[in-house]
Structure 1
Amino acid sequence: MNSYNIAVIPGDGVGVEVTEATLKVLLAAAEKFGFNLAPTQYEWGCEYYVEHGEMMPADGLSQLKKSDAIYLGAVGWPEKVCDSVSLHGLLLPIRKQFDQFVNMRPHRLLTGTSGPLKKTKFDILCIRENTEGEYSGAGGRVHVGNPHEVAVETSVFTRHGVERLLRFGFEQARQRSGKLASITKSNAQKYSMVFWDEITEELSAEYPDVTVERYHVDAAAARMITHPESFDVIVASNLFGDILSDIGAAIQGGLGFAASANINPSRELPSMFEPVHGSAPDIAGLGKANPVAAVWSGAMMLEHLGETKAAQAIMAALNDVLASPDNCTPDMGGKATTSEVAEAIVKAI
C-alpha cells in the first residue's frame, strides 16, 4: 500500500474550516482506492505570529521538507498581522525554498455551477511563474517618512526561470489541445517582457505541434471575459498570472472555486496545494465557506502524487454533489454549510 506524508497547514480564518472539510474527502478517497494518507498538522499562521513574532518557527521549512506534499488552507488576518508580513513569512518562503516555480490554476465550470458570463464552455489552465519576476522582492525604501521618500521594486527575470516555466507550459499544451497563449506586456516593458517573448519564440521551434499565440496582458484580460473558450493553456509571469487567474476564478463562479497547485516538477522537494480564496476573516467560524476550491486543490495533490483514480473520483463527486442546490453554500445561492458539503462529497465518493 502506498503511503504519503502530508504536511497540513490550516492557517487562518476559513482556512481551518475548508482544510477540515478537505481532509475528510481525501481520507475517504484514500480508503476507497487503497492508499494511506498520513497528515501532520502545523498550527502556523497569524495566530502563531501574534504569540511568537513569526509566522512559523525557524526550522519550519526543515520540518516541511520531510513531507511528500504540503496542503495549505489560507494565510492572512489583516486586523492582526499586516498582509506583507503574513505573505512573506509563510507562503512565499515555502514556494521559493522548495523551488515551486509552477503555479497551476484550472478554470472551468463544474456541473451545477454558473458564472457571470453567458458563455459556459471553457477549460483554461493558467500556468504562472511562481518564484521570481515581479514578486522577487528585490528593492527597498530610502528616506522613509520624508517628503522625498523613494520606493524601488525591481522585477527579476532569469533565462533559467523563464525557460523552465515556458517549457512546462508547452508540455501541458502538448497533453491538452496543442494551444498555448503566452502573456506579456512587451510593448511597454521592453526588457523583461521582450526577453520573455524571445524565449517563447526559441522554444516554439522545439514544439512544432503546439500553436503559440501571444497576447498583451490587458488584451488577454478582456479576452478571458469576452471569449474565454478561445484559451486553453496560458503561461504568464508572476504578476500577470496572478491577475489573470483571479479573472479565471471570477468567470468560473467565484473565488470559492479557485484551486491551485504550487509545483516543483522535479519532485525532489515537496509541492504545495491550496485554495486561493484567502482567509475571509469576516465569515470565519460561521460554516459559510465554500470548500470546493479546497477539495479541488486536494484532488490536484492526489493527482500529483500519482493517485489519479482517486483524484478523478473526487472531481466526479464534486460534479455530482453540486448538481443539487441542497449542497450549495451561500455564495452559490444555497444554504448548505461547509461541513455538509464535505459530507455530501464523501458520500458521493
Structure 2
Amino acid sequence: MAEITAASVKELRERTGAGMMDCKKALAENEGEMEAAIDWLRSKGLAAAAKKAGRTAAEGLVGVVVEGKRGAVVEVNSETDFVAKNELFQDFVRNVGRLALERGTDVEALGAAAYPDGGTVQEKLTDNIAKIGENQSLRRAAVLEVTEGAVVSYVHNQVAPGLGKIGVLVALESGAPAETLQTLGKQIAMHVAAAHPLALTAEDLDAALIERERSIALEKAKESGKPQAIVDKMVEGGLAKFRKENALISQLFVMDNKTPVAEVLAAAARDAGAGIELIGFVRFQLGEGIEKKQEDFAAEVAAAAGTSRAEPVA
C-alpha cells in the first residue's frame, strides 16, 4: 500500500475542498494517486459538498447530553438558522453529543468515529451537506465529569430537547441529595448562560487577558493626570473589579443580583448538610468567535446579472 503523506492530504484538500478524513480515505483507496483520488471524491458525491465548504457556517445548534455523572456539549454549525429546524441536522447533533461522551473532545477523532447508522461522523456530515444543501461543520466539543455528585445542563433558546443557541454544563462534586444538586445546578447553569463568566475563579482567568486589561486600565488612569502612586492604585482597583465580575464564583447571582455565587453554594451546602463544590463549567454560545460574512444581496444580484450595483438590471 502506498504511503499517504500529510503533504498529499493537504494538496488534495486544497484542490477539492473536501474534508481531511475524506481526503485520507480517497488517497488510501487509490494507492496515493492524486488524480484518481479526485475522481473517487467526485464519484462519491463529495465534490458537491466541497463546493459548499468555503461558505461561512456560523449558525446551527449547540447540543448537550448528560448521562450519569458525565456530560458533553457540542457545537455543529450551518450557514443559516433554518437548518437548526431540520430533523436530520438535529439528529446529527444529538448523536455527536453522545459520541463525545464516549470518545472525548478531539474534533478530528470525533470525525473519524463510527456513526450509529454506518460510516463515520465525517462521512455522515458530508452526506448531510449534500442532502440539506448547506455547508456544515463540527466545530468543538467539551466534556465534564464528577466522581460523586452531578453534571447539570441548561439550554437557552431551545429549539428541541437538548438543542439550542447556548448550551451550559455545570459540575457539582457533592454527596448531597440528587434533587438538591439538580435544582442548584440548573440555577447556576442559567446564571452562566446569562452572566457569561470567563473562568471559575479569579486565579483561573487567562494571564494574557489580565495583562490586556491592565494595559487598558493604565491608559485610562494616565489620562486622569494624577500622581503615579494614585495611577497604580487605580489600575489595581480596576483589575480587581474585572476579576470579580468575570470569575463565576465571585459574580453576583442573577437570581437576586446581590449574593455572590460562592455564598449561594455555601448556603445550599448548609441546607443539604453536605459539602458542595463547583468544580467546573462549560458555556458554548452558537457562532461565538466566528466572523460572519455580511451579505450584500443587491451586489450579489448585480454580479449574477453581469452589471455593477449602480447599473439597472435589464
- Alignment TM-score, normalising by the size of structure 2: 0.25
More strand by share: 1
User: Which has the higher relative contact order, 1 or 2, with Cα contacts under 8 A spaced 6 or more apart?
Assistant: 1
- Alignment TM-score, normalising by the size of structure 1: 0.23
More helix by share: 2
